[in-house]
Amino acid sequence: MRASAYPLIDADEAAGLVLDHTATLGVEQVRLAECYGRVLADDLVASSPLPAFPSSAVDGYALHAADAGKTLGVLGESAAGRPYLGRLEPGTAARILTGGVVPEGADVVVMIEDVRVDAGRVTVPPGLKAGTNFHKIGDDMGAGDRVLVAGMQLGPAEIGLAAAIGHAELGVRRRPRVALMSTGDELVEVGRPPGPGQIPDSNRWALLAALREAGAEVEVLGIAPDEPEPLRRLVENALGRADVLVTSGGVSVGTHDLVKPLLESLGTVHVGRVKLKPGKPFTFATLNAPGKVAFGLPGFPVSSLVTFEVFVRPALRKMQGFAQLHRPTLPVRLGYDAKPTVERTEYQRVTLHREGAELVAETTGSQSSSRLMSLAGAHALIRVPAGDQGIKAGSVVEAMILTLP
Amino acid sequence: MRASAYPLIDADEAAGLVLDHTATLGVEQVRLAECYGRVLADDLVASSPLPAFPSSAVDGYALHAADAGKTLGVLGESAAGRPYLGRLEPGTAARILTGGVVPEGADVVVMIEDVRVDAGRVTVPPGLKAGTNFHKIGDDMGAGDRVLVAGMQLGPAEIGLAAAIGHAELGVRRRPRVALMSTGDELVEVGRPPGPGQIPDSNRWALLAALREAGAEVEVLGIAPDEPEPLRRLVENALGRADVLVTSGGVSVGTHDLVKPLLESLGTVHVGRVKLKPGKPFTFATLNAPGKVAFGLPGFPVSSLVTFEVFVRPALRKMQGFAQLHRPTLPVRLGYDAKPTVERTEYQRVTLHREGAELVAETTGSQSSSRLMSLAGAHALIRVPAGDQGIKAGSVVEAMILTLP
């Protein structure tokens, strides 16, 4: 047993190294049904105006505004998808339904509630204003308009827009394929009774969820073999398919830790220890296969999820081409004294609640790296700089928002 | 063509009617791998303490604090999953690795960095404090502690916690099964060139994404037949499987609108028109099959998504047992004059940006009900009360947050 050979790196420097070594993945065409949550690869530009035709916003009558106050003959109907085909001359009207094409010649639609109909003729009110109650060609967008921007995540409105301009599929960034492995002689499958000194492999399931939230496709390798050669074969095989290896456990300095030697043999370890609490043993390596990277997360449950948030999630988002790599931040008032850690940046877990217009952050209790209760139901992470200052209750700081209360 | 027979209902009253007629669905047991995003049905209580054994937080040596400053014989090792089985007497030490069981008798762990090792003996520093560097039994939770609360959405930490206390599966609320149908003679499949007066069926794809975000399982029925009997057969068949019918289009007052008569024949229409902009023709019905409901959303793209947000999403979340039915709100300062609509509550779409500690809301431009650009990339909805007051630029209002900037 020896002290670690890796230098302790500043947390921000480590995060920078990770992103510097992370490349955006390629583009794939995906049908609209599968686009939700994906990231648009290229700007989307409208090739023609929308609406493509003047379209009624209401049910009523299309006519000439100059015929205000008159009683007009009704020549036909323009329903949605069933246009009135003739030209509408002055002194005439056509029934029109919401979404129907405003007939050529007409310059106003009068709502059904505002007319009187009698024996096939319609009496319209005085004082009509041309252009009312219908959408003109190009009202919603013009030909050549950039309607969606590369790097946007596709939600309902964005997908609807793409569909409205005729795209049945979209170019999106490929999802990162991640091989997920737990290491540790103490681990047993969740659901089996742990023997003396054993614990359930809970990190696998927490990290699987975190990886999915971050947009990854995950292959679960399970609990790693405890001998170097079988472990190496398993990982090399998985990396034939995966872009990223994520391990939990096995990165501290004990004799039975196999992950760092494995990563050293497969590529280059750029980060081996970080001035971070929780998560000091966090490890990051590039692999010999171009573009492939590995994250060795600490085994303690909170350490693995916090280092995931700080290092892995932004990298997975960069791979997917997200314009925004990091969690949003909001100013929050601390409801507790945030004690610092000497020489380590600390991410403390908090709940948020509203007091008037402010968000107030309260600690989730003991911040022990094994205590997942400190992260369950947490709304945000508070970054406490290394040193001896801490942050006093009542101070306003920027919180990394996980979920709003 | 007639004016609608349905009374115009206040938007809040309509939202209340929808929730009053929505029932929470049943419970199903789901394996951890599929629990992400699901809603916990019942409180989860720990049956035993965690950690279950005193567990080292570091790599080092376990010993008696009373032996501070001495040189001790090293009797063995306690690695994670490979406990040292004997009792540690005063004057002796055991190597211990992170996660290893602290041997019986030992009351302190000294970090590897703080000792000197020589010829099988270890010299430890003076002034050791009992209880240091290891997690005690029950430090993270005690037997009987409530660790997760019914109605929580399961994320990484929550799933990790459930796994850590030995649950390989969890009881979660069943997802609502939704049959989604588009109506309108003007619709063509997205990707086919629209004929005169035709438009792509974009709502299907926007609503599919919105339904998935809200947790539903969706069966896409496609574009509805335009004759009453085939339409009725299709819907009755789908409702044999689905809990919810969602339609878009076909709820305004024109002669070709088939949805309201269909819903009248299948159940009871509780809401037929709402004092809401966009979304006045929104329709809600309970169906004759117990617990099944139908939402008739307007055909204009923005109207369909806004009524989805205001009425459908909270109902789908109630079905899933979410403790929080509604979008979170935050105070934002208006960067524009929000003009009101007489007699209709309006939901205006805004982007948000930070100015100092404040979130400032800017309009997404023309709020036309056909202009999806007003919703693409929007961060929030601003509720503007009916009337003639509006909300002046500079005012602070509560915004419904869709996504943070």
pLDDT tens digits for range B270-300? 999 999 999 999 999 999 999 999 999 999 9
Instruction: Provide, as residue numbers in chain B, all residues whose Cβ is less than 8 Å from the Cβ of A58.
Output: 252
Q: For chain B, give every residue range classified as CATH 3.40.980.10.
A: 8-26+174-319
The CATH number of B8-26+174-319, from 1.10.3720.10, 3.40.980.10, 3.40.47.10, 3.40.1410.10, is 3.40.980.10
| Beta carbons of A378 and B157 less than 8 Å apart | yes
- Average of pLDDT values for B53-73? 96
Residue in A52, A163, A328 closest to B404 by CB: A328
Q: Report how far apart, in Å, the C-alpha atoms of A276 and of each of A2, A211, B70 are.
A: 21, 21, 32
Chain B residues lying within 8 Å of A200, measured CB to CB: 163-166
Res B5: pLDDT: 81
B134 pLDDT exceeds 50?
Answer: yes
Paired with B131 in beta bridges are: none
Rounded to whole angstroms, how far apart are CA atoms A212 and A194? 27
Per residue in B25-34, pLDDT tens?
999 999 999 9
Residue A60: φ, ψ to 5°:
170, -135
pLDDT at A337: 98
Confidence of residue A1 (pLDDT cuts 50, 70, 90): very low
Compute the average pLDDT of residues A246-251.
87
Nearest to A245 by CA among A179, A190, A334: A179
Interface test with A, best of B146, B223, B256, B332 (most A CBs within 10 A): B256
Q: Are B156 and A198 in contact (CB < 8 Å)?
A: no
Given an 8 Å threshold on Cβ–Cβ distance, is B159 in contact with A209?
Answer: yes
Predicted confidence (pLDDT) per residue in A6-32, tens digit = 999 999 999 999 999 999 999 999 999
Distance between first and last Cα of chain B = 46
What backbone torsions phi and psi does residue B235 show, to the nearest 5 degrees? -70, -45
Q: A329-401 has which CATH code?
A: 2.40.340.10
d(CA B30, CA B43): 15
pLDDT at B254: 58
On whether the CB atoms of residues A46 and A163 are closer than 8 A, the answer is no
Instruction: At A262, give phi and psi (nearest 5°).
Output: -60, -50
Q: Search chain B and give the residue with CA nearest A301.
A: B160
pLDDT of residue B253: 58
> Which of B159, B198, B253 comes nearest A112 by C-beta?
B253
Task: With CB atoms and an 8 Å threshold, state whether A209 touches B164.
Answer: no
- Whether B112 sits inside 8 A of A196 (CB atoms) is no
Cα-to-chain-centroid distance, residue B399: 18
Query: Which residues, other chains included, contact B28 with Cβ-Cβ below 8 Å and sequence gap of 6+?
Result: B171, B172, B173, B174
The values of phi and psi at residue B205, to 5°, are -80, -35
Please tell me the predicted confidence (pLDDT) of residue B169.
98
A345 vs A306: CA distance, rounded Å: 12
Q: Which two tokens stand for residue B163?
A: 């796994």
Q: What is the pLDDT of residues B158-210, one digit of tens each?
A: 999 999 999 999 999 999 999 999 998 899 999 999 999 999 999 999 999 99
Residue B23 C-alpha, separation from nearest chain A C-alpha, in angstroms? 24
Confidence label for A252 from pLDDT (cuts 50, 70 and 90): low
Cβ contacts of B196 within 8 Å, gap of 6 or more: A53, A83, A101
CB contacts of B149 in chain A (<8 Å) are 377
- The mean per-residue pLDDT over the stretch A250-272 comes to 83
Verify cis geometry, omega within 30 degrees of 0, for the bond prior to B49.
no
At residue B258 the predicted structure's pLDDT band, cuts being 50, 70 and 90, is confident
Closest CA–CA distance from residue B18 to any residue of chain A (Å): 22
pLDDT of amino acid A4: 64
- pLDDT band at B228; cut points 50, 70, 90: confident
Mean pLDDT (chain A) is 95
Residues B55-135: name the CATH superfamily.
Answer: Molybdopterin biosynthesis moea protein, domain 3. (2.170.190.11)
Q: Which amino acid is at A110?
A: V
CB contact under 8 A, A80 and B197: yes
Q: What is the ipTM score, two decimals?
A: 0.95
Chain A, nearest residue to B326 by Cα: A405
CB pairs under 8 A between A and B: 329
Chain B closest-CA separation from residue A58 CA (Å): 8
Token pair in block for residue A257: 């830790």
Helix (H) or strand (E) segment spanning residue B95 = strand B92-96
| Residue A212 clears pLDDT 70, i.e. is over it | yes
Chain B positions in Cβ-Cβ contact with residue A149 (cut-off 8 Å)? 377
Contact B209 A81 (CB under 8 A): no
- Give which of B376, B202, B220 is closest to A166, Cα–Cα: B202
Number of Cβ atoms within 10 Å of the Cβ of A287: 20
Residue B265 DSSP class = H
The answer to whether the Cβ–Cβ distance between B187 and A253 falls below 8 Å is no
The reply to whether residue A405 touches residue B328, judged by beta carbons under 8 angstroms, is: yes
CA atoms within 13 A on the CB side of A2: 3
For the question of whether the overall pTM of this predicted structure is more than 0.90, the answer is yes
DSSP bridge partners of B196: none
Minimum-distance CB partner of B3 among A97, A112, A168: A112
Q: Beta partners for A291?
A: none
pLDDT at residue A226 above 80? no
If you search the block for the tokens 């009992």, which residue do you land on?
B130
Pick among A140, A255, A397 to test the B interface (most B CBs inside 10 A): A140
| Of the options 3.40.50.150, 1.10.10.370, 3.90.105.10, 2.40.10.480, the CATH number for the domain spanning B28-49+140-173 | 3.90.105.10
With beta carbons less than 8 A apart as the criterion, state whether A91 and A138 touch.
Answer: no
Quote the CA–CA distance of B224 and A347 in Å, as a whole number.
Answer: 53
Looking at chain B, the domain(s) classified CATH 2.40.340.10 span: 329-401
The secondary structure element, H or E, covering residue A45 is strand A44-45
The minimum CA-CA distance between A231 and chain B, rounded to whole Å, is 18
Q: Which chain B residues touch A98 with a CB distance below 8 Å? A: 252, 254, 299-300
* Residue B173: its H or E element: strand B169-173
Contact A156 B404 (CB under 8 A): no
Q: Does B159 contact A205 at a Cβ distance shorter than 8 Å?
A: yes
Give the minimum alpha-carbon distance from B384 to chain A in angstroms, rounded to a whole number. Answer: 19
Which ranges in chain A are annotated with CATH 3.90.105.10? 28-49+140-173
Nearest chain A residue to B303 by CA distance is A157
- Report pLDDT digits (tens) over A91-107: 999 999 988 999 999 99
Residue A180 has a pLDDT of 98
pLDDT in tens, B74-102: 999 999 889 999 999 999 999 999 889 99
Q: Do A159 and B206 touch (CB under 8 A)?
A: yes
